[in-house]
Chain A
């Protein structure tokens, strides 16, 4: 218990948790409102005489599409938050006093996982609130359907918070596995923002479906939230995991990274 309180105080006495939460809010406010606004322009201007049939969802499906635009990218922020909870201790060597206070290192790692939960969940809640305010606000102002009375939309919001929360745990595990702060964050961003999107586009060119693609972290994230930018972009949306399986897979990533980190970083000499 005392280790938990220590870990909680460590987070709130630094800035990164609210800085990352603010970034989520800013990012979502931007993407959601731009998308909602652009749609209203497109509607008033018609199809701009190109004669092309644009495959755009309608009504509350479109509202969901707007809300998901931030969500399908913002999961990296709770992951960075989780990673920093571990990495900053090694970067500034505060891991020394931490292990002096609690020499049972496994307990420190478990405490970090537990305290990451509320902070990661907060990024999810802030994301949803911003989505409603910015995306919903612009949709309403431009006389489009906000979908805010639809249970389906609220289920989506709940799923997003769940996904963001588990991403916090994935981050803690990743931070434990990759001790170096810069390496951990570059690795996280590089994989999720660059490598994975490329991998997920492969079926578009080969025409084949690859089973492993649905287990990639970003695809799992989409499966949890239930709405994906990719499913809109792809001509034939590939299979996605069911919600319970997707939750389990993401939690599995967190668990595997954490165990890996425990047996490497947390077992090593601190000098």
Chain B
């Protein structure tokens, strides 16, 4: 039920109201060119991303999932290869690994939800073909440690940066540490289109050239196919919308960071765990996640009081029905499993008012103080 003073988890309607007058013109202009696949807007988008996150090459694609799938293919991950990743991500990261025929090898996560890099080395085997850290919630992994392992064993990194555009580690952008970085511009992401879309970035020219062909059936031109690829192209229309929204990305991230700061100031740390940003991190807060006891009761209590929250994600990947063939069991990744019962995502979008955050924090603090159930 929607109450008048309820606080929604996302606010796409407000985003549209804010941008409407400009966006309609942009959409009309893009459509009137009669060029709906590829073309100028897509090229412009790729160039814009290059500048935004400081990378040499960008290929616009149909989704973040496709970026991961293509990325793995480009790293020559195939049947019987192994890829090391985390079980607390959205399903797409593991899905991409399974779809190229490889086996996902999970490592548990740290209290801040990032990959436990200390566990990577013992999972490496002769079959390991890639390491896939996931910058979940916009919080970046400890890339120093992961890059070190990658160099030592000569195993490439493919970064799942779907939730982390603009995030930085030691002032270097998410997606630019590994061989390939994969991004999503799904409607719910910080940089969002109005349909599925995504892109991959790389500094490797050979990978870039191959990725370009891969995304368009392997065709070098209308009549020649060099190898079998995919159909994974960013819609021209979506590119034109993203070009417009990119101009506002920095500001939007700052607003989200302000919101996070306020949360961290107001929430009572006795009962609420959240991770502070480290000195070498710059996080973009696609999500703001707290970890609490009595999570389900708190969620209900907030819902009753008009605050919409979410859980990302309540069932870890290794315990999903789709993962049965991997033969994992409960207890294999204790930290991930523990977090799946304690994590709660609070509204963090750029249209939140200060008073909204005050209200949410008051509710949470008093929930624990009074022992409300």
Check if A and B associate: no
Q: Which residues of A contact B (CB under 8 A)?
A: none
